[in-house]
Structure 1
Amino acid sequence: MWHRSSEVFVLMGTAVDAATRDTNGSLIEKNPTVVFVLGGPGSGKGTQCANIVQHFGYTHLSAGDLLRAEIKSGSDNGTMIQNMIKEGKIVPSEVTIKILQNAMLESGNDKFLIDGFPRNEENRAAFEEVTKIVPAFVLFFECSEEEMERRLLGRNQGREDDNIETIRKRFKVFVESSIPVVEHYKSRGKVRKIDAAKPIEQVFQAVKTVFTVHNDKAVA
């Protein structure tokens, strides 16, 4: 499976590169504001992103949802993505970035919450290199593993990956892969940490403060 997926990606490489260059030029002209939203599985990112969209006018782009939609489309790209996810591999940065770029361009907006990406340092570096976009800041939802497990096991959304073994594996991957991204941006003063273990409304009050301060600085 892995070898076949790799071959598909290599064959697609030149086409993806060319399309990305064209897309990137249009995206730079748009001069978008990007906020990365990071947090472990079950940290409440989706719920808070919906609140941010409603109150601050951002467009929410979930990398996971976009990848699942690509898989559902039945395209060659979707088949490759599905195979890699089944094997526990992270989808190549170029593929995810291309999907994100298309979604940003198709939106009529210039303010975006990118949820669940970058997943690791390689994702982060590739995003900045390809798009020439540096996030305005990173919204990091901090929550204990125990609390995230409780939430995921109780949400009953029918997702195949909502079982204790897979949840713990996902959390381990998040800590090993995504925390270095948080640390990178923290060293640049771009991380806004939110205590995600609190009730939803209290969490959003903290989120609102972050965005209000950012907007005030942007106006100033």
Structure 2
Amino acid sequence: MFKVLLSGIRHLVMSSKQKPEVLFILGGPGAGKGTLCQWLVDHFNYVHLSAGDLLREERRNPGSEFGQLIESHMVNGTIVPVEITCSLLDRAMQNSDNPVKRFLIDGFPRNQNNVDGWEQTMSEKVIVKGVLLCECTEELCTQRCLKRGQGGSGRSDDNLSTLAKRHETHIRDTVPIVQFYEKQGLVFKVDSTKSPKEVFDDTVEILKKIGWQ
């Protein structure tokens, strides 16, 4: 009886120490990453962490020492230093009280420096299940972002000149990252030119492959 009880305690301890699982959601600006993540959260209770939203929230924080730096990068369509982004993601995961411990990280990593920084600071803390790539044409992505900006998104980067820079940055820096993960068999692609429901249905099939369904 004592051995059975001890075994049960050990199992509970191991379960409590289980590492959070992460699925990176990548794609160009306006590819539908946030919309897809919201559908997944609504249906499966995953936790959605948008790197961009966390950075914008930090930028608006009057006491942040990084606010001005973050704003400068966003306006210029460039990538915020990885140390800042990783620290915000780490803090958000630690503060989450969601028992599922499955995180959709949207818009990260975006370049090799992001990958290197993640490996250095987060590789021992979480398990990366894969990279979900939302594939969409640049024209449609731009139309979506401009419409979002006209709708009062409050985002300083939802304008034509900044979007052009963001697309350029995505092609130059993020596409090689997708190729890097693709060599590891971790990339799963979804056609995000479709309706949100269709994209969601296609993604559910991908979730089955990584063991999330």
1:183 aligns with 2:174: no
Structure-1 residue corresponding to 2:44? 56
Structure-2 residue corresponding to 1:170? 166
Deviations 1:51-82 (A, max 9, x none): 11122221000011101111111121223322
Matches within 5 A, 1:110-129: 110-129=101-120
| Compared CA separation, residues 182 and 134, structure 1 to 2 (3 A) | farther
State TM-score, norm by structure 1.
0.80
State TM-score, norm by structure 2.
0.82
Structure-2 residue corresponding to 1:157? 151
Structure-1 residue corresponding to 2:207? 211
Structure-1 residue corresponding to 2:194? 198
Q: Looking at CA atoms only, which structure, 1 or 2, has the larger radius of gyration?
A: 2
Kindly provide the amino acid, as one letter, of the partner of residue 137 in structure 2: S
Matches within 5 A, 1:120-139: 120-132=111-123, 133-139=126-132
Unaligned stretches of 5+ residues in structure 1: 1-28
Provide the rounded CA distance (Å) in 2 between the counterparts of 1:148 and 1:94.
28
Provide the rounded CA distance (Å) in 2 between the counterparts of 1:54 and 1:143.
23
Secondary structure, in 3 states, of the residue corresponding to 2:175?
Answer: helix
Using the TM superposition, give the Cα deviation of residue 113 of structure 1 relative to its aligned residue in structure 2, in angstroms. 0.6
Provide the rounded CA distance (Å) in 1 between the counterparts of 2:26 and 2:79.
16
More helix by share: 1
Provide the rounded CA distance (Å) in 2 between the counterparts of 1:79 and 1:153.
24
Unaligned stretches of 5+ residues in structure 2: 1-16
Stretches (4+) displaced over 4 A: none
| Compared CA separation, residues 154 and 85, structure 1 to 2 (3 A) | closer
Please report the RMSD computed on the Cα atoms of aligned residues, expressed in angstroms.
1.9
Matches within 5 A, 1:72-111: 72-74=60-62, 75-109=64-98, 110-111=101-102
Q: State the identity as a percent.
A: 42
Kindly provide the amino acid, as one letter, of the partner of residue 211 in structure 2: N
Using the TM superposition, give the Cα deviation of residue 124 of structure 1 relative to its aligned residue in structure 2, in angstroms. 1.0
Kindly provide the amino acid, as one letter, of the partner of residue 104 in structure 1: M
User: How many residues are aligned here?
Assistant: 190
Quick check: 1:44–1:196 contact (8 Å CA) kept in 2?
yes
